[in-house]
Amino acid sequence: MNTAHRITDRAAYQAELDALRIREKAHTHEGDAIAAARRRLPMVEVDAAAKLIGPDGPVTLLETFEGRRQLIAYYQMWHTGHPAAEQCEGCTFFNSQVRELSYLHVRDITYATFCQGPYEESVRYRDFMGWDVPWYSAAESIDVLMAGRGRFMLACYLRQGDRVFETYWTTGRGVEVMDQTYGLLDRTVYGRQEPWEDSPAGWPRADNIARTNGRPTAQWPRLEAGRSDDLASGR
């Protein structure tokens, strides 16, 4: 047994957990305060007519709201012409965890993936993965919509009539809001097991959770289930 694992009785264990809980609650309250500040940010108008490609062909950014007041869009990275095994493991990790959309819909919010690559090729990836979120190619309008920001991005929009406004965006670790895996791992004794973490000496470390044996990790169960990962047109 690793000596960093101290063993105590339940009373001593609970006393230390109670002290940590004070910090956890403070963290939660600070998160609430940050969210309140986020709701008060100014917004910037974006081109409501920006062109995207969906299942029925060209659509506008405005149309991707599906009539709802707000839109959350995740900008999936794409390596055009590359096989499924070489597609972005980070985007696959985050996008694969946004599944039940009814709770967003009841708040008048649409969630959609805006892929940075061509529609026909990338939607085959969505289908291979078994995702059912609305999927669009934003390739033709990527310079307008992403405006030079991060390689992958999560953005929030507000519709007022026929006008569209961007109200928030984030990238990097900001997109962790999309997943529950890291949150659950953070509650375990070994954490995420990533090199940057502050853990006791001797704690296990692991390779990138999002890629396993040369593929985005979540692809393996799909292949084992017999799904085809062929993204080529007409095959």
pLDDT band at 1 (very low <50, low <70, confident <90, very high): very low
Backbone angles phi, psi at 106, to 5 degrees: -70, -15
Q: Which of 199, 91, 101, 213 is nearest to 154 (CA)?
A: 91
Domain boundaries defined on the chain: 44-178+213-224
Amino acid at 18: D
Question: How far is it, in rounded angstroms, from Cα 132 to Cα 111?
Answer: 11
- Phi, psi for residue 102 in degrees, rounded to 5: -65, -30
Quick: pLDDT tens for 146-200: 999 988 899 999 999 999 999 999 999 999 999 999 999 999 999 999 999 999 9
Residue 3, pLDDT > 60, answer no
This prediction's pTM: 0.94
Between strands 215-216 and 51-54, the pairing is: unpaired
Residue range 44-178+213-224, CATH number: 3.40.30.10
Tokens of 23: 């910090």
- Quick one: the chain helix, strand, coil %, rounded to 5? 35, 20, 45
pLDDT above 70: residue 110: yes
Q: Judge whether residue 4 has pLDDT over 90.
A: no
Residues whose CB is less than 8 angstroms from the CB of residue 70 and which lie 6 or more positions away in sequence, other chains included: 107, 108, 109, 110, 156, 157, 158, 159
